[in-house]
Structure 1
């Protein structure tokens, strides 16, 4: 494939998906990391995309693709993480789930756990429990302003959360690094997520390996605030060592097989 053809294909991928990562493009086109980065710099210079840390997004993007775009990324890893994280929940627990496709995947497993009380600022997560139709579960959905990831954020959400106490919070994140901690590209969502962290006795962060090294504009919490971090087998060894030195406990989930009955459609 000629360079011009590859660059046209990159622009089309960004247009379709809202964003792409360098590692994905390297695999897709069979070229070096340096080649892809040069392509992105050239295309960004032409105004055809916006170059961001680790990849590129559509021009004018806030680096926050919508829920549908993110839900099809790292599906296998998210199912593995959800299985491992769900094992931390006991019947009768009060749990909070922030917005995100990983927490949504987890919700589809928690829908089978008896007598849960669920607090969430995610429209999608609330829908999972509504469709499950269990009479022994209670779901509290905060109000607020809706984001591209279907989170409810802002003063209304924060005020509602600050009146609550939960046993366990599963926090979805956009990125994580030692310096920046757990981050999001949406500053209002960061404020709401921080309220969730303050309301929880324990913090669990389910995050696949692609979140490592990614930095959103706003920090939610420092790595040391996480009691447990659940990631997948794709997390590189240097990242595991760095995270293990900061979070309370690092759990690595193995890759699952095909989607099971608790993984949803």
Structure 2
């Protein structure tokens, strides 16, 4: 860790921080001096993600539950006294053909992709204002185009992008910047995890998506993490309301 790291002593919250992009972001922030609170539903995965990192604390929490935002924000401020960055990374998605639409599944996607980040932004507002901090929301390149079978996933993430722009204006007077990263197909375990696909089906989807990516490969978390940190960095104090698509050109072909 560089002695002059701009993240030294800063405090970040990363929801969905026990795996994939969220875990990679937390590890990187911890490695460059930040103190990080990660949240997730699975206690075992949270423990594994925090193990060996003195700067990472884990909080088992379903971000879609009412009041979760307050409990997450209070855990960070109670432990470290400040919040400099919120990464709204937790999310939900599931392939749904029209004939299989299920109100409870759609409601869960809406709760995790729209309600959960809204609760946390509200709860962390005061602390972020004191630190002139930043919010980085994690969207998806799926929302760039029509998404048969993934219509509600794409729609709820598109709603998060709208919230990103709206919060950027509403919170600008408090010195809080709000941006988003929209990743394309990334090797993060999301297909078998969040999407719930069987391994064989997930492999088929991965092969199909890879063939569609102009740069010739699926992304890895290392392709995404630096952009999250750049958007959240206090060095970029004049950048807000932006949605950055990082997808190897995938959305340009679909």
The structure with more strand, counted as a fraction of residues: 1
Taking structure 2 as the reference length, the TM-score comes to 0.41
Which protein shows a greater Rg?
1
Taking structure 1 as the reference length, the TM-score comes to 0.40
